[in-house]
Structure 1
Amino acid sequence: MKAFILAGGKGSRLLPYTTNFPKPLMPIKDKPILEIVIDRLRKADIKDITFGTGHLAELLQAFFGDGGKFGVKISYSREDEPLGTAGPLNLVRDKFTDTFLVMNGDILTDIDFHELVNYHKNEKSIATIALSKRTVDIDFGVVTLKNDNQFSEWKEKPIIEYLVSTGIYIFEPEALDVLPSEGFFNLPDLIIKLSENNKKVTGYVHHGYWLDIGRASDYAKACEDYGRYV
């Protein structure tokens, strides 16, 4: 199975660390973030990987090469200008003739990729979004009013649950048929467009570990949680 990893972002929320260093190469213990990602993909027999690169692409290529020493095959697709999270797929759409995976290159997770792919195929979906449950503690009494501003309901310090995208997707090649042939386009826009075209899009809820390394505090947590996702 093939995978496309988005590794071209500037990591602006992690400045100044990412000024001269791509975020996917930031080390967790003795391995870069992206090497940990590759290890998990390889163990799931996902070994044909394309990196979508941009910012400091030459450093990524110098470190990972053709992927041989990591037990995978790696190729590179470099965007000359920002294309969003879905736009880069235009540059490599001919590579994907069967079910494929797309994910961000700064995600640490213990997700079972085999189970995710099997779920996608059993559902006969054109796209599957891997999701993670999150909660928000509200420190106040939440009041709901009726249309005439009369009191309706009071919830004291409720806990709100919601699902968030993990940045991991499974697609069928036909999903790219709705992708504009050029320009900036994001994966949420692709998902919405598929749904608007009455294509089956499903969600797979992952109940295990997942961390998106967006800020310095996330990076610190990733270092602290090392044993939970390797």
Structure 2
Amino acid sequence: MENDDLRVSINTSIIDTLKKMDAARHKVLLVFDDNNFVSIITIGDIQRAIIKDSNLNRSICSIVSRDNKDFANSNDTEELIKKKMLAIRCELMPVLDDNGTLTKIYKWTDFFGENDIKNDSLIDLPVVIMAGGKGTRLKPMTNVLPKPLIPLGDKTILEEIMDQFENIGCHNFYMSVNYKYDIIKYYLSQLSHIYNISFFKENKPLGTIGSVSLLRGKINTSFFVSNCDILIDQDYRDVYNYHKKNGNDITIVTAVKNIQIPYGVIDTTENGVMTGLREKPNLNYMINTGVYILEPQLINEIPDNEFFHITDLMNKVKKRGGKIGCFPVSEKSWTDIGDWKEYLKIINK
């Protein structure tokens, strides 16, 4: 069968499956045991495994569901398959015959546009965008343009971020501004699409979360916070569902960073006695992407007019026994536009 880029062996490790999803630019893969179709594995399966602190070098055999009922039958009409896909918002729909043999695959784009979503699951949360930085990593461009207005195709990074939130139902934006804020306001006022934005200005640099103290009394629900120079290929409704289900004070969207050490690593104990040898080990880390969900009462814990980072807030919440959760995305689902190398990579795709 075609679509070899969507096939993965049941014996593949979790981290290598995640890498294959990145390479194929799909969040669902077809799992095979030799030439026999077993099931599908989704980014959600992997995210749940990471949240449970599973060993990412373990095979996906342990996290694949073999009794998945969300498949189509070869006797189903295309209209029925379309309704099934829409109901569960699935990217791939395997079609099996009565013997469980895979006969066909339907993709979301066979029936819908890439940005089509199921409207009855929209959420409407406030979104705070931190847009006051000078963008020093993108100089000399940011000597002229403020970082949020860096172009990406026909839009700016700021529009891409806000459009992603609007697509899931979020329409109320609060924008922290400082550097060249008048240019940002003027640009947005000239767009044919009018965003609902409330600007708030820090008169001096207040760190990565300090200016949010200015929103005290204005937000009374869970809310998103996003840096203005990152893009994440993730449905933020899943992040919100995870945040509420786990009763988090803060949820951090994290990217899984995999690093292979190109040498043998020796473990030692006291007096330099070798206890083990690992040949070219893979190390996995969680990287802070710069997108969060916060509970509204946390605004009261941010000091007025003081330089205060999001990490300071995390430490404060952790110290008092609050709950901070991490929602993982794959490494290539996260793009840092504020870095020249990454910016050039994305505009040259």
TM-score by length of 2: 0.62
- RMSD across aligned C-alpha pairs, in angstroms? 1.6
Aligned mates of 1:172, 1:66 — CA distance in 2: 33
The reply to whether residue 65 of structure 1 matches residue 213 of structure 2 is no
Aligned mates of 1:113, 1:4 — CA distance in 2: 14
Question: In the alignment, what sits opposite 2:237?
Answer: 114
Question: In the alignment, what sits opposite 2:176?
Answer: 52
The reply to whether residue 76 of structure 1 matches residue 189 of structure 2 is no
Give yes or no for contact 1:49–1:73 (8 Å, CA) kept in 2. Answer: yes
Question: In the alignment, what sits opposite 2:131?
Answer: 7
Question: In the alignment, what sits opposite 2:166?
Answer: 42
Candidates 320, 326, 330, aligned match of 1:197: 320
Q: What percent of counterpart residues are identical?
A: 32
Aligned mates of 2:300, 2:312 — CA distance in 1: 13
Amino acid at match of 1:196: K
Question: In the alignment, what sits opposite 1:125?
Answer: 248
Aligned pairs, how many?
224
Aligned mates of 1:16, 1:183 — CA distance in 2: 29
Question: In the alignment, what sits opposite 1:141?
Answer: 264
Amino acid at match of 1:2: P
- Stretches of structure 2 that go unaligned for 5 or more consecutive residues are 1-124
- Stretches of structure 1 that go unaligned for 5 or more consecutive residues are 226-230
Stretch moving more, 206-215 or 190-199: 206-215
Aligned mates of 1:80, 1:26 — CA distance in 2: 23
Say which one has the larger Rg. 2
Q: What are the Cα deviations for residues 84-116 of structure 1, in whole angstroms up to 9, with x where unaligned?
A: 011010111222111111010111122111111
SS across alignment from 1:40: helix
Aligned mates of 2:190, 2:314 — CA distance in 1: 31
Aligned mates of 1:191, 1:199 — CA distance in 2: 9
Candidates 30, 52, 61, aligned match of 2:154: 30
Candidates 191, 206, 215, aligned match of 2:339: 215
Per the TM alignment, residue 214 of structure 1 is displaced from its structure 2 partner at its CA by 2.7
Aligned mates of 1:113, 1:165 — CA distance in 2: 16
TM-score by length of 1: 0.92
Q: What are the Cα deviations for residues 114-151 of structure 1, in whole angstroms up to 9, with x where unaligned?
A: 11111111111111111110112222222221022111
Candidates 273, 281, 290, aligned match of 1:150: 273
Q: Which has the higher contact order (CA 8 A, sep 6+)?
A: 1
Give runs of ≥4 in structure 1 deviating > 2 Å.
69-72
Give yes or no for contact 2:188–2:194 (8 Å, CA) kept in 1. Answer: no
Question: In the alignment, what sits opposite 1:206?
Answer: 329
Aligned mates of 1:66, 1:184 — CA distance in 2: 33
Give yes or no for contact 1:47–1:71 (8 Å, CA) kept in 2. Answer: no
